Structure 1
């Protein structure tokens, strides 16, 4: 029994586990993940009628969550959020500090990355068919938390919240989720060929 537990722990749970050097690796991944989300936040398109811009962050959050696993993903997004609040200008549009009505999406990023990491640790990133539900679950968390925060912060009705916090982003986020769902299994396939 203990022999089988030892064997299951020696297998990589997520892509990041393929990188040697546990502590140094984890520190570099957390800092790099926060930086990646901050960089992708600068790809921002402001949509008329909503305080929430279209950004590349969602792609980064889904990839980090799934590639890092729950613990490292949560740490990376927490670092991104806390550093941004403390003054690092890497929220959308080079903003820092409390991000107002759109900050709920940052909170949603934390929940989504953690959930995607948890699911990836259970093999949800090994094939496109298993990755898609994981990415969709992450998107649902981002929208659920982000829209709730937006509604309260901006005093919006349900229809206003949907119009400002969901509808303009659906197509782009579907593309980002599909891209992430395809990239992770491809990375596993590449890693498998290199290690063979």
Structure 2
């Protein structure tokens, strides 16, 4: 039987504690976007990519809400930021093309859908599954964010990636400024989720019982 069999698709965490309805789903989508916006303001000022808590919010929202609601929540977050609300890191807003980290924001939508899909298959009910799920979602964000960062820094030229950032090549600048500084934090977030989400499942199961 395929691992994508409907028989293996299970409720996500929020479905264990809240009833399903259009109004509830809409409220959860908005709440997920708001949570991500709030965590985006927990910022360590860095350039070209700031260090924030929003990536944890993205993965948590996707896992708890599931693939569709998680992706819609991140799409809403992206949309309201582009429309001018200061929800991006450090209170930024407006066109993603004006942000060196714009690619990561685009990746939020896909990452939330991925971890939500894995949660539908009960990956978030065990420590190892949750950690792997969060790391997979993080990899998706880098898959969108790093090429975007390379394009922006390449357009700005050596005066930025060499003169300002001190790297000898564009590739070194992208790797050193857009990936390496975040590895330890990404691992901590994944492990924290691996410890917390299975506990949340146990609590929700007892509450339901």
Normalising by structure 2, what TM-score? Answer: 0.85
How far apart, in 1, do the equivalents of 2:204 and 2:63 lie?
Answer: 15
How far apart, in 1, do the equivalents of 2:195 and 2:73 lie?
Answer: 22
Task: Choose 80-89 or 154-163, whichever is displaced more.
Answer: 154-163
Aligned-residue RMSD, C-alpha: 1.9
SS, match of residue 148 in structure 2:
helix
Is contact 1:62-1:177 (8 Å) kept? no
| Aligned counterpart, 2:175 | 162
- Give runs of aligned pairs for residues 135-150 of structure 1, distance below 5 A: 135-150=134-149
Is contact 2:10-2:122 (8 Å) kept? no
Q: Deviations over 1:133-190 (max 9, x none)?
A: 1111001111121111100112162211000100111111211121122221111010
How far apart, in 2, do the equivalents of 1:113 and 1:45 lie?
Answer: 23
| Aligned counterpart, 2:130 | 131
Q: Deviations over 1:28-83 (max 9, x none)?
A: 10000000000000001112xx3110000011011111111000000000000010
Contiguous gaps of at least 5 residues in structure 1: none
Task: Choose 138-147 or 77-86, whichever is displaced more.
Answer: 138-147
Task: Choose 153-162 or 70-79, whichever is displaced more.
Answer: 153-162
Is contact 1:15-1:68 (8 Å) kept? yes
Shift of residue 21 of structure 1? Answer: 4.1
How far apart, in 1, do the equivalents of 2:102 and 2:90 lie?
Answer: 13
How far apart, in 1, do the equivalents of 2:92 and 2:172 lie?
Answer: 28
- Give runs of aligned pairs for residues 1-196 of structure 1, distance below 5 A: 13-18=11-16, 19-47=18-46, 50-99=47-96, 100-155=99-154, 157-196=170-209
SS, match of residue 101 in structure 2:
helix
Is contact 2:83-2:93 (8 Å) kept? yes
**Corresponding residue pairs, total:** 188
How far apart, in 2, do the equivalents of 1:172 and 1:133 lie?
Answer: 15
Contiguous gaps of at least 5 residues in structure 2: 155-160, 162-169
Normalising by structure 1, what TM-score? Answer: 0.90
Shift of residue 14 of structure 1? Answer: 0.1
